[in-house]
Protein backbone atom coordinates (compact mmCIF):
# COMPACT_ATOMS: atom_id res chain seq x y z
CA UNK A 1 0.00 0.00 0.00
CA UNK A 2 2.88 2.37 0.77
CA UNK A 3 4.46 1.99 -2.66
CA UNK A 4 1.08 2.08 -4.44
CA UNK A 5 0.22 5.30 -2.64
CA UNK A 6 3.57 6.82 -3.54
CA UNK A 7 2.94 5.90 -7.17
CA UNK A 8 -0.48 7.60 -7.04
CA UNK A 9 0.90 10.89 -5.79
CA UNK A 10 3.99 10.69 -8.00
CA UNK A 11 1.85 10.40 -11.13
CA UNK A 12 -0.13 13.44 -9.93
CA UNK A 13 3.04 15.50 -9.40
CA UNK A 14 4.27 14.46 -12.84
CA UNK A 15 1.04 15.75 -14.40
CA UNK A 16 1.50 19.06 -12.57
CA UNK A 17 5.06 19.22 -13.88
CA UNK A 18 3.78 18.81 -17.45
CA UNK A 19 1.12 21.48 -16.84
CA UNK A 20 3.75 23.98 -15.74
CA UNK A 21 6.10 23.05 -18.60
CA UNK A 22 3.40 23.46 -21.29
CA UNK A 23 1.10 26.15 -19.91
CA UNK A 24 3.63 28.28 -18.00
CA UNK A 25 7.01 27.60 -19.60
CA UNK A 26 8.51 30.97 -18.64
CA UNK A 27 7.63 30.40 -14.97
CA UNK A 28 8.87 26.79 -14.91
CA UNK A 29 12.24 27.56 -13.20
CA UNK A 30 10.34 29.33 -10.40
CA UNK A 31 7.32 27.04 -9.99
CA UNK A 32 9.42 23.87 -10.17
CA UNK A 33 12.54 25.02 -8.37
CA UNK A 34 14.47 22.57 -6.20
CA UNK A 35 12.77 23.58 -2.94
CA UNK A 36 9.31 22.98 -4.44
CA UNK A 37 10.41 19.58 -5.75
CA UNK A 38 11.66 18.62 -2.28
CA UNK A 39 8.34 19.67 -0.72
CA UNK A 40 6.41 17.65 -3.29
CA UNK A 41 8.58 14.59 -2.66
CA UNK A 42 8.04 14.82 1.10
CA UNK A 43 4.28 15.26 0.56
CA UNK A 44 4.19 12.15 -1.67
CA UNK A 45 5.79 9.92 0.94
CA UNK A 46 3.94 11.51 3.86
CA UNK A 47 0.53 11.02 2.23
CA UNK A 48 1.24 7.42 1.26
CA UNK A 49 2.64 6.64 4.73
CA UNK A 50 -0.47 8.00 6.44
CA UNK A 51 -2.73 5.87 4.24
CA UNK A 52 -0.67 2.72 4.79
CA UNK A 53 -0.50 3.32 8.57
CA UNK A 54 -4.22 3.93 9.00
CA UNK A 55 -5.07 0.84 6.93
CA UNK A 56 -2.70 -1.25 9.05
CA UNK A 57 -4.30 0.02 12.26
CA UNK A 58 -7.64 -1.36 11.11
CA UNK A 59 -6.58 -4.64 9.52
CA UNK A 60 -3.94 -5.98 11.93
CA UNK A 61 -6.15 -6.15 15.09
CA UNK A 62 -8.83 -8.18 13.29
CA UNK A 63 -9.47 -11.69 14.66
CA UNK A 64 -8.11 -14.26 12.22
CA UNK A 65 -9.67 -17.69 12.60
CA UNK A 66 -9.55 -19.04 9.05
CA UNK A 67 -6.65 -20.41 7.01
CA UNK A 68 -3.21 -18.94 7.65
CA UNK A 69 -2.37 -19.06 3.93
CA UNK A 70 -2.71 -15.72 2.16
CA UNK A 71 -3.93 -16.26 -1.40
CA UNK A 72 -1.91 -13.47 -2.90
CA UNK A 73 1.55 -12.54 -4.09
CA UNK A 74 1.98 -10.21 -1.12
CA UNK A 75 0.41 -9.39 2.24
CA UNK A 76 -2.29 -7.15 0.79
CA UNK A 77 -5.13 -5.73 2.91
CA UNK A 78 -8.09 -7.21 0.97
CA UNK A 79 -6.46 -10.65 1.10
CA UNK A 80 -5.95 -10.34 4.87
CA UNK A 81 -9.57 -9.30 5.44
CA UNK A 82 -10.72 -12.50 3.73
CA UNK A 83 -8.98 -14.51 6.48
CA UNK A 84 -10.82 -12.66 9.23
CA UNK A 85 -13.86 -14.18 10.90
CA UNK A 86 -15.38 -10.78 11.74
CA UNK A 87 -17.99 -8.84 9.79
CA UNK A 88 -16.41 -7.14 6.75
CA UNK A 89 -19.03 -4.41 6.44
CA UNK A 90 -17.07 -1.94 8.56
CA UNK A 91 -13.96 -2.64 6.48
CA UNK A 92 -15.89 -2.08 3.24
CA UNK A 93 -17.15 1.31 4.43
CA UNK A 94 -13.77 2.41 5.80
CA UNK A 95 -11.82 1.17 2.80
CA UNK A 96 -14.26 2.67 0.32
CA UNK A 97 -14.11 6.17 1.77
CA UNK A 98 -10.40 5.99 2.53
CA UNK A 99 -9.44 4.70 -0.91
CA UNK A 100 -11.86 7.12 -2.56
CA UNK A 101 -10.06 10.09 -1.02
CA UNK A 102 -6.73 8.44 -1.69
CA UNK A 103 -7.54 8.02 -5.39
CA UNK A 104 -9.77 11.06 -5.96
CA UNK A 105 -7.16 13.64 -4.91
CA UNK A 106 -4.41 12.49 -7.34
CA UNK A 107 -6.92 11.82 -10.13
CA UNK A 108 -8.39 15.31 -9.66
CA UNK A 109 -4.93 16.85 -9.97
CA UNK A 110 -4.24 14.80 -13.11
CA UNK A 111 -7.58 15.70 -14.73
CA UNK A 112 -7.22 19.39 -13.89
CA UNK A 113 -3.68 19.44 -15.27
CA UNK A 114 -4.59 17.75 -18.54
CA UNK A 115 -7.73 19.81 -19.06
CA UNK A 116 -5.59 22.93 -18.78
CA UNK A 117 -3.01 21.38 -21.12
CA UNK A 118 -5.65 20.49 -23.73
CA UNK A 119 -7.09 24.00 -23.60
CA UNK A 120 -3.60 25.40 -24.07
CA UNK A 121 -2.80 23.02 -26.92
CA UNK A 122 -6.04 23.63 -28.82
CA UNK A 123 -5.59 27.35 -28.39
CA UNK A 124 -2.04 27.29 -29.74
CA UNK A 125 -1.57 28.52 -33.28
CA UNK A 126 1.46 26.36 -34.01
CA UNK A 127 0.53 22.78 -34.92
CA UNK A 128 4.11 21.66 -34.38
CA UNK A 129 4.07 22.91 -30.80
CA UNK A 130 0.71 21.19 -30.21
CA UNK A 131 2.01 17.83 -31.46
CA UNK A 132 5.14 18.18 -29.32
CA UNK A 133 3.06 18.96 -26.24
CA UNK A 134 0.72 16.02 -26.82
CA UNK A 135 3.68 13.71 -27.43
CA UNK A 136 5.14 14.78 -24.09
CA UNK A 137 1.92 13.85 -22.28
CA UNK A 138 1.07 10.63 -24.12
CA UNK A 139 3.64 8.46 -22.37
CA UNK A 140 2.52 9.68 -18.96
CA UNK A 141 -1.15 9.08 -19.80
CA UNK A 142 -0.41 5.47 -20.80
CA UNK A 143 1.10 4.75 -17.39
CA UNK A 144 -1.70 6.63 -15.59
CA UNK A 145 -4.37 4.61 -17.42
CA UNK A 146 -2.80 1.22 -16.66
CA UNK A 147 -2.11 2.04 -13.02
CA UNK A 148 -5.35 3.71 -11.99
CA UNK A 149 -7.75 1.37 -13.77
CA UNK A 150 -6.25 -1.72 -12.14
CA UNK A 151 -5.86 0.03 -8.76
CA UNK A 152 -9.54 1.02 -8.75
CA UNK A 153 -10.60 -2.51 -9.68
CA UNK A 154 -8.47 -3.87 -6.83
CA UNK A 155 -9.17 -1.51 -3.94
CA UNK A 156 -12.66 -0.22 -4.73
CA UNK A 157 -14.26 -3.68 -4.84
CA UNK A 158 -16.38 -4.81 -1.83
CA UNK A 159 -14.92 -7.61 0.28
CA UNK A 160 -18.04 -9.72 -0.42
CA UNK A 161 -17.20 -9.85 -4.13
CA UNK A 162 -13.47 -10.40 -3.59
CA UNK A 163 -11.79 -12.81 -5.99
CA UNK A 164 -8.26 -13.95 -5.18
CA UNK A 165 -7.41 -14.74 -8.80
CA UNK A 166 -8.71 -11.39 -10.07
CA UNK A 167 -6.97 -9.53 -7.25
CA UNK A 168 -3.63 -11.15 -8.10
CA UNK A 169 -4.00 -10.27 -11.78
CA UNK A 170 -4.95 -6.66 -10.99
CA UNK A 171 -2.11 -6.31 -8.52
CA UNK A 172 0.30 -7.67 -11.10
CA UNK A 173 -0.81 -5.00 -13.55
CA UNK A 174 -0.60 -1.97 -11.28
CA UNK A 175 2.61 -2.95 -9.42
CA UNK A 176 4.84 -4.70 -11.96
CA UNK A 177 3.60 -3.85 -15.45
CA UNK A 178 3.87 -0.03 -15.15
CA UNK A 179 7.36 -0.33 -13.67
CA UNK A 180 8.42 -2.63 -16.53
CA UNK A 181 6.85 -0.39 -19.16
CA UNK A 182 8.16 2.92 -17.80
CA UNK A 183 11.62 2.73 -19.41
CA UNK A 184 10.09 1.69 -22.74
CA UNK A 185 7.22 4.22 -22.72
CA UNK A 186 9.30 7.19 -21.64
CA UNK A 187 12.02 6.30 -24.14
CA UNK A 188 9.73 6.37 -27.18
CA UNK A 189 10.34 10.11 -27.57
CA UNK A 190 14.08 9.53 -27.84
CA UNK A 191 15.17 9.61 -31.48
CA UNK A 192 17.97 7.09 -30.96
CA UNK A 193 15.56 4.62 -29.36
CA UNK A 194 13.06 5.05 -32.20
CA UNK A 195 15.82 4.53 -34.79
CA UNK A 196 16.95 1.35 -33.02
CA UNK A 197 13.36 0.05 -32.91
CA UNK A 198 12.92 0.74 -36.64
CA UNK A 199 16.12 -1.19 -37.43
CA UNK A 200 15.01 -4.08 -35.22
CA UNK A 201 11.56 -4.12 -36.84
CA UNK A 202 13.12 -4.05 -40.30
CA UNK A 203 15.38 -7.01 -39.47
CA UNK A 204 12.44 -8.99 -38.09
CA UNK A 205 10.36 -8.40 -41.23
CA UNK A 206 13.25 -9.50 -43.45
CA UNK A 207 13.77 -12.78 -41.59
pLDDT tens digits for range 60-108: 777 777 677 777 777 777 777 777 777 767 666 777 777 777 778 888 8
> Is 2-206 a domain of CATH 3.40.228.10?
no
Greatest extent of the chain over all pairs of C-alpha atoms, in Å: 66
* pLDDT (0 to 100) of residue 206: 66
Q: Domain coordinates of the chain in residue numbers? A: 2-206
Residues 6 or more apart whose Cβ sits within 8 Å of residue 151: 4, 8, 103, 170, 174
Res 19 pLDDT > 70: yes
- Total-model pTM: 0.74
39 confidence band (pLDDT: 50, 70, 90): very high
- Angle between helix 89-123 and helix 34-59 axes, rounded to 10 deg: 160
Amino acid sequence: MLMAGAECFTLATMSYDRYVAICRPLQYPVLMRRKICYIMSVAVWFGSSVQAFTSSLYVLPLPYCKSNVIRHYMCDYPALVQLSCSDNLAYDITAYFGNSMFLVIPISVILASYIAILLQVFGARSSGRSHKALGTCLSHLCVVGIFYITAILTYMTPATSYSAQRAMINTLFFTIVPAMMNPFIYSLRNRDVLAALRKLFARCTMC
